[in-house]
Amino acid sequence: MTTQTSPHPTHRAFLIAGPSGVGKGTVVKELVKRKPDIWLSISATTRQPRPGEVDGESYYFVTDDEFQAMVDAGDMLEWAFIHRKNYYGTPRKPVEEALKQGKTALLEIDLAGARQVRKTMPDVYQIFLMPPSVEHLEERLHGRGTEDEEAIARRMVTAREEMAAQSEFDAVVLNDSVARATEEILHIMGEIV
């Protein structure tokens, strides 16, 4: 279910947004597994690593001061304060380098970040990953077991705000199954036809 289904081989920068718990991380992992030449941006964040998360792989885990210094130096392509708790941002240079090298770059960011990227990189192709339902999201967040009740409640507030903005995106992809959503996104990227 997309608003546009034709491939977009001319686009080289893509972003995926969507509410917390929709499965962006899983879909992104699957995309890179299917097409290892997709270059995935690694964000910087002030949030604490979850068990199993590795610095420099999942995120660059930084302090508030380090994050602020990157923002002040103009080193962030975009950044946001998310779930009213932590800073997240996309380091600019690696994205520019990847694009210069002709790679397909993929950013996985939140709505506020997507809105900023649209301004600085107007030809970025924006995909909104949609959950089958709000109830489904909440169940997934509980099932993940990585957030406490308060954090889940905060993420659900953000999720409702984000879902109201789906019409701003070039395509809306329903994450009814990881395999199907991945396939649809690869079509959109022109990686498979």
| Interface with ligand 5GP (CB under 6 A) | 20, 24, 43, 47, 78, 80, 82, 88-90, 108-110, 112-113
Q: Is 43 annotated as a binding residue?
A: no
The secondary element (H helix, E strand) that includes residue 173 is: strand 171-174
Q: Is 94 annotated as a binding residue?
A: no
Nearest to 80 by CA among 108, 116, 132: 116
* Amino acid identity, position 21: G
Q: Is 143 annotated as a binding residue?
A: no
List Cβ neighbours of 147 (8 Å cut-off, separation of 6 or more).
141, 155
Cβ distance to ligand 5GP smaller for residue 147 or 183: 147
Cβ distance to ligand 5GP smaller for residue 89 or 131: 89
Q: Is 177 annotated as a binding residue?
A: no
> Least distance in Å: CB of 143 to ligand 5GP?
14
> Least distance in Å: CB of 9 to ligand 5GP?
25
> Least distance in Å: CB of 130 to ligand 5GP?
13
- Residue whose structure tokens are 């779930």: 83
Measured CA to CA in angstroms, residue 66 lies from 38, 59, 69, 70, 116 at distances of 28, 14, 5, 6, 21
Question: Under DSSP, is residue 129 helix (H, G, I), strand (E, B) or coil?
Answer: strand
Cβ distance to ligand 5GP smaller for residue 153 or 192: 153
The secondary element (H helix, E strand) that includes residue 19 is: none
Cβ distance to ligand 5GP smaller for residue 162 or 184: 162
* Amino acid identity, position 60: Y
> Least distance in Å: CB of 93 to ligand 5GP?
14
Cβ distance to ligand 5GP smaller for residue 10 or 63: 63
Q: Is 102 annotated as a binding residue?
A: no
Q: Is 18 annotated as a binding residue?
A: yes
Nearest to 17 by CA among 110, 95, 81: 110
Give the residue numbers of the binding site for ATP.
18-25
